Chains A and B, each alone.
Chain A
Amino acid sequence: MKRKTWNPKVVSLGVICLAVLMIPRFITGTLTLQYIINIMIFAYFATCWNIVGGYAGQLALGNGVFVGIGAYVSAVLFNYEGISPFIGMLIGGAICAVLAIFIGSLTFRLNGSYFALATVAMLHIIRLTFMSNKYMFGYKTNGALSLNIKWRGGFQNMQFENNVGYFYLIFALLVVGILISWYIKNSKMGYYLQAISTNPEAANSLGVNVMAMKLKANAISAFMLGVGGTFYSFFLNVIDPSKMLGYDMSVQILLFAIIGGSGTLVGPILAAVLLVPVQDILRGIVGASVQGLAPMVYGLILMIFVYYLPRGLWPSIVTLYENLTFKKKQRMAKDGR
């Protein structure tokens, strides 16, 4: 009876990918394209954070700082050394990974809440250091002022004349991010992380090296965030330290992961697709004159979700779907009898 068919998940993913790739053919408005790029970049960030925050269950509140570090490293290398951001992002990512291992080896010994606070303290230390020094390691980073990225143009410099180029570039980044996340989730490491997240003592007694696994997850996540920071800063063409290294960036990233359903593959992306446009829509309605509306709405949504749907959006949808199909099957069985 059972025929060999395509995995519906793979098929639907392929269809979605093709559909997204077609977007620039139909949407030519620079602004609309920019909104979509924003969605994709935050979906990517949330996916990266999810590896340590969701799979490993470590509430790394301050890990958005790696976005800023990655951005700074590749921008400085590009501006002053002329190194292509495609190489710069790897260097930036590697620095982030090393830093993540260092910070993690200090803070992973702490239990949940202390760990969360310690990561935020680290974020503030790094942010304040950047904002108070005009030069970092001999390179001019402009301190609290923004650092502009020099315009050289061309694919190898990650600089395009219009948003279409960035659209394809960041779409590729997102796809790679999702593939890595998917691979980790279904690998041995993913199961180890899940065990650590549910019960670290039990995982430890079963021979999982808890510390090493957490560090590995943190390093991978930080590397990916650093790479993402490079793409984001070259898309924006400027680095504003209060935004890129700020606490709000961190909260926004984890917000999408938590609301979507931390620990799931789809959740962070779904939440980014639903919530990133809120900012742009609000700006469209009330104009840019009223500050703080979008983060206010994000705060409200976070509260509502943590209170009513603590597992997040995607797991709730899955449960709902399963309940419906189960009832349908029950009804069909009843009718058949």
Chain B
Amino acid sequence: MSTFTMYLQAVIDGLLIGGVYATIAVGLSLAFGVMRIINWAHGELLMVSMYISYFLFTWLGIDPYLIIFLTAAIMFVVGFLLQKLVISNMLAREKSVEPTSVLLFTSGLGLFLSNLALALTSGEYYSAVTEYTGKMMKISEIFISVPKAISFVIAVVCTLALYVFLQKSETGRAIRATSQNRDVAILMGVNMKSIYNIAFGISIAMVGLAGGLLIPYMTLNPNIGSTFGFKAFVIVVLGGYGSVIGALVGGLLVGVIEKVGTLAASDITAQICVFVVFILVVLFRPNGLLGKKVKM
């Protein structure tokens, strides 16, 4: 295998996982863009939706790619209720636009969820053996994992569907209006509270989707959330807060950086690279590489 093919292979692997990263990050980006909430439990909610997908798969035994929509629906309800019952009250109480109390609350939630999973599973690793697991396609010199490819396609389609939804539908327009100017949106007759509930619901539903997409090829463990959680923040910052297309590009980029970095140096160097990129972007391009001008 020539060096070129190896790198091409790494880039393709990176793009395939990057699509799923994008789906995770889009949800986070939406929550921040609309409500200016830093959801620190985003990764842990992903972990929860992976467990939900896993158990739905083992109990129901239907195609893992049908389960994702079920998980997404469950997670939508979770997000909707979390916002409606808890976070909305905290937002109402806070004077500042970007409440750090929600950040603290969600970090508590993350700590709770990951350790709950640890206590329940006693640290055991699960991996779902689906009919897709381990299948490979070979295109000339390049190997492509079938489940990764299917997950990638679904992830990109769903992310683009969310983009269209936000651009074209009435609810989507209301969500965007709220993210641009809360007060004017209210004056225009937008029911801010219900928009917040829906937006946070969608944010968590995207995580549910991603959780289902990861199941056919990823081993489950209680700490998996934090790995993805911070990556999602990196992607959101890269893409610019609130930008769906930015998150998609950022997701693919982070995927490629990771895989190429792993090939060129080591797994840990690749991880360090991702964090360094985060700090550089935050310092020098706080609006993201191609993000719209978001007021800081």
A residues bordering B, Cβ < 8 Å? Answer: 59, 61, 106-107, 109-114, 116-118, 120-122, 124-125, 128-129, 131-132, 247-248, 251, 255, 258, 289-293, 295-296, 298-303, 306-307, 310
A125 close to B107 (CB less than 8 A): no
B122 close to A306 (CB less than 8 A): no
A300 close to B230 (CB less than 8 A): no
Give the one of A117, A120, A291 with max B CB within 10 A: A117
* A106-B279 contact given A291-B118, A299-B112, CB 8 Å threshold: yes
B80 at the interface (CB under 8 A from A): no
A306 close to B104 (CB less than 8 A): yes
Contacts of A113 in B (CB 8 A): 38, 98, 100, 103
Which of B47-55, B141-149, B154-162, B267-275 lies at the interface with chain A? B267-275
CB distance from A56 to the nearest CB of B (A): 13
Top 5 closest pairs, chain A to chain B, by CB: A299-B112, A302-B108, A299-B111, A292-B118, A292-B115
A106 close to B283 (CB less than 8 A): yes
B90 at the interface (CB under 8 A from A): yes
CB distance from B231 to the nearest CB of A (A): 11
B134 at the interface (CB under 8 A from A): no
B residues bordering A, Cβ < 8 Å? Answer: 38, 86, 89-90, 93, 96, 98, 100-101, 103-105, 107-119, 122-123, 222, 226, 230, 233, 237, 266, 268-269, 271-272, 275-276, 278-279, 282-283, 286, 296
Contacts of B111 in A (CB 8 A): 248, 251, 295-296, 298-299, 302
A107-B283, A292-B114 given; name 15 further pairs at CB < 8 Å: A106-B279, A114-B282, A118-B278, A124-B271, A132-B272, A255-B108, A290-B122, A291-B115, A291-B123, A296-B112, A300-B108, A303-B109, A303-B112, A307-B89, A310-B90
CB distance from A186 to the nearest CB of B (A): 26
Contacts of B275 in A (CB 8 A): 121-122, 124-125, 128
* A132-B269 contact given A124-B275, A302-B107, CB 8 Å threshold: yes
